[in-house]
Amino acid sequence: MNLQNSCIDRSLVEAIVRSVLCGQETRSSENWEVKPELVVSISARHIHLTDQDVETLFGEGRTLTKMKDLYQDGFFAAEETLMLIGPRKRMLPSVRILGPTRKESQVELSFTDAISLGLDPPVRESGKLEGTPGCVLVGPAGVVELKKGVIRAERHVHMGPSDALFYGVKDKDRMSLRVEAGGCTTILQNVLVRVGEKIKLEVHLDTDEGNAVDLEHASKVELLKQ
């Protein structure tokens, strides 16, 4: 159809087209800016083991038995638990193992756990074990003496690349977590950002931190860029 010879005004058609395209761009932008679902979890004391330490503690050929899946795909709480023994024979009788196995065994405790065990572990990112204290792990089939590997896990947030883009952060950056609970608002600073493929958005706090902010009764939680 020749718009110049028709009764339809060309400028009107162009305006309609621009309006439609603008609406599509706006909707696309709105979809991109949808706030990702944030999960905040309390990470209670737990143990990560190597394959060799699993066999030493539970018997030759043994592997971890999945009890339940964790929020992150591929990770699970195992049926197996261990006794932890610290200095002066202080102990924690039944500490859960998390899977899958790792290249290096590691124990993650809260500050209160560490005190009860007689240890003073540093606050560390998972896997950063140089200069950390050790402990003794006791299982039904054997004993493993860790020379290092006990840490207080640094509060952190796991996120995928799209989450990082939404918040405008990158791996190893720091964020703050704002928690509203029971009429009080608490902000936890220096939350370590850990970005990885196929990772769900999830903040990990230890038991002490979760209790301090009354996470169980939280009405609102949000991540803030520092």
Sign of CA dihedral 156, 158, 161, 162: negative
Q: What is the pLDDT of residue 9?
A: 53
Q: Which of 153, 193, 155 is nearest to 171 (CA)?
A: 193
Q: What is the rounded CA–CA span in Å between residue 156 and residue 138?
A: 29
Does 171 score more than 80 pLDDT? yes
Which ranges of 37-110 would DSSP assign to H, the alpha helix?
Answer: 51-58
Q: What pLDDT, in 10s, does the model give residues 196-213?
A: 999 999 999 999 999 999
Q: What is the pLDDT of residue 16?
A: 44
Q: How confident is the model at residue 21 (pLDDT cuts 50, 70, 90)?
A: very low
Q: What are phi and psi of 212, to 5 degrees?
A: -65, -35
* Position with higher pLDDT, 33 vs 61: 61
Q: What pLDDT, in 10s, does the model give residues 94-129?
A: 999 999 999 999 999 999 999 999 999 999 999 999
Q: What is the pLDDT of residue 18?
A: 46
Does 192 score more than 70 pLDDT? yes
Q: What are phi and psi of 119, to 5 degrees?
A: -120, 160
Percent of the chain at pLDDT exceeding 70: 85
Q: Which of 187, 168, 169 is nearest to 178 (CA)?
A: 187
Mean pLDDT for the stretch of residues 46-63: 98
Q: What is the rounded CA–CA span in Å between residue 212 and residue 215?
A: 8
Q: What is the rounded CA–CA span in Å between residue 84 and residue 150?
A: 11
Q: How confident is the model at residue 31 (pLDDT cuts 50, 70, 90)?
A: very low
Count CB-CB contacts under 10 A for residue 151. Answer: 22
pTM score: 0.83
Q: What are phi and psi of 91, to 5 degrees?
A: -145, 155
> Looking at the DSSP assignment, which residues form a beta bridge with residue 48?
106
Tokens matching residue 97: 């193992």
Q: How confident is the model at residue 29 (pLDDT cuts 50, 70, 90)?
A: very low
Does 25 score more than 60 pLDDT? no
> What contacts 126, CB < 8 A, 6 or more positions away?
106, 108, 151, 153, 154, 156
Q: How confident is the model at residue 10 (pLDDT cuts 50, 70, 90)?
A: low
Q: How confident is the model at residue 34 (pLDDT cuts 50, 70, 90)?
A: confident
Q: What is the rounded CA–CA span in Å between residue 153 and residue 206?
A: 7
